[in-house]
Amino acid sequence: GDDAPNAGTQTHYLNKEEEFRVEVKIGTSVKVTLTDGTAEIFGAELPKGTPVTLPGGKHAVFSWHGATIDVLGATELEYVARDTPMTQYLNLDGVLEERRKAAAAAGAAGDDGFASDGPRVALVGPTDVGKSSIAKILTNYAVRKQWAPLFVDLDLGQGGITCPATIGAVPVDRPIDAEEGVPLEMPLVYFAGDTSPGNNPDLYRYLVERMAAMLDARHASNPAARAAGVVINTMGWVEGQGYKLLLHALDALKVDNVVVVGQERLHSELTRDFRGKRVGGDVPGEGTPVRVWKLNKSGGVVERSPEFRRRCRDQKIREYFYGAPGAELQPHSQTLPFGQVSIFKVGGGPRAPATALPIGQQSSSDPLRVTTVAPSMSLLNSVLAVSHGRSNADLLSSNVAGFIFVTEVDMRNGRFTFVSPSAGELPSRNLLAGSLKWIEMP
Ligand code: ATP
């Protein structure tokens, strides 16, 4: 039967607008080969005749015109679906494409006003509605038409760009595929130190604003990037404080197309809150009106249990250090005296009542305050960010070069051992700690 786990090669036939959905066990992979027709995985075209590795997780192979695919390896679940919301997604891409073309034409005509801004699209909705998948589809459709849009991930929980506990942005000039994910040549990554923004919402807002400022600066100096626009994946926390953080992010990043996936109530809240709003103009009444869309959730998106979610997150960290399954990197282990690095953290600490503090001392719970972390055993298994910040003063606002994880703490000799994805000197000796931990599973 179709739902039974199976190994060996299976051939699947897709009619036009059908989708093959497959679940691969975490830690394993299968190979998919397009043998006839055309097909795509979240908007990235499958090459004909070349096996593509699908890592652990849930995947969908969609065909607009019909396809034959071979699947090699054991899957946990697989079936072909007839009903998909892909036409809706394609129609939205059509609207965005008009904007990009108009923006490029305005830019070429020397207009540096809002008319030369390409679309800034954000996917919003609760967890497990397919936001990141739709973000990939929209990005890939733009890339296939020769644009290089900026892909932004604001979801601390799943870490679409490099590691969890970060927000990041990266220009995408080749399709985001199942094997390599988001191209990571020049990512701009900020470390929030935690997988939820709820523990330090001020820091989250601060980093989103930093990212927005970098984005504006990039667009001011790069008309092609500006016309290509931005696709933003947001976090799934859309209630209470989460909703406020979401509104702040949409505002800060000047999003003009808010795309709500799979939740009627959120759609009506956002429609209400964005009524009459415009972005990009210099005077009231000018600028692009914000449009709020509603897209259906795909039936292929199934809820992930907290446990599965955690394993996805761990796999993400593992991939950062060791590469995707099949394309294993050779991670590098080093030992350094604690004296050769400086470890910092932002905010945190128990909130001390003002009366308990010596006169003139600032509360240690200032959410944006950078403090030094003394070496201790609690650093064991921590994922630390390597900051581009040179001084204590600019650590908060600096993006990070990458990550290391601490495999050993030797307090007696005052040194620690860590793994980094590449050999050689750390790009900086200023490290940022948060609550992100990872234990390597054999
Ligand atoms: P979160 O906010 O929790 O990260 P999300 O809304 O971004 O979730 P996705 O990550 O896009 O949701 O999708 C959830 C899972 O469903 C992913 O594993 C994704 O690969 C899978 N998925 C998405 N669309 C399909 C589909 N059409 N068929 C099969 N699986 C799918």
Q: Which residues of 101-133 are buried (b: 16+ CB within 10 A; e: fewer)?
A: ebbbebbeeeeeebebbbbbbbbbbbeebbbbb
Q: Which residues of 225-247 are buried (b: 16+ CB within 10 A; e: fewer)?
A: bbbbbbbbbbbbbbeeebbebbb
- What average pLDDT does the chain have? 90
Average pLDDT (102-120) is 91
**pLDDT in the model for residue 179:** 80
For atom 23 of ligand 1, the residue with the nearest CA is: 301
The minimum-distance atom of ligand 1 relative to the CA of 233 is 7
Q: State in Å: Cα 316 to ligand 1 middle.
A: 15
For atom 26 of ligand 1, the residue with the nearest CA is: 300
Q: State in Å: Cα 195 to ligand 1 middle.
A: 18
For atom 13 of ligand 1, the residue with the nearest CA is: 130
Read off the pTM: 0.92
For atom 27 of ligand 1, the residue with the nearest CA is: 300
Mutate to test the pocket of ligand 1, among 301, 309, 310 (most ligand atoms within 8 A of CB): 301
Q: Which of 86-90, 306-310, 383-387 has the lowest mean pLDDT?
A: 306-310
Q: CB within 6 Å of ligand 1 — which residues? A: 19, 21, 57-60, 125, 127-133, 155, 158, 236, 298, 300-301
Q: State in Å: Cα 288 to ligand 1 middle.
A: 30
ipTM here: 0.95
Q: Which of 29-38, 167-176, 256-265, 281-290 has the lowest mean pLDDT?
A: 281-290
**pLDDT in the model for residue 77:** 93
**pLDDT in the model for residue 1:** 41
Tens-place pLDDT, residues 144-156: 999 999 999 999 9
The minimum-distance atom of ligand 1 relative to the CA of 136 is 11
Top-confidence residue, 272 or 157:
272
What is the per-residue DSSP string for 286-347?
Answer: -EEEPEEEEEPPPTT--PPPHHHHHHHHHHHHHHHHH-STTS----EEEEEEGGG-EEEEES
Tens-place pLDDT, residues 304-351: 888 888 888 888 888 888 877 666 777 889 999 999 999 999 986 545
Per-residue pLDDT band at 8 (split at 50, 70, 90): confident
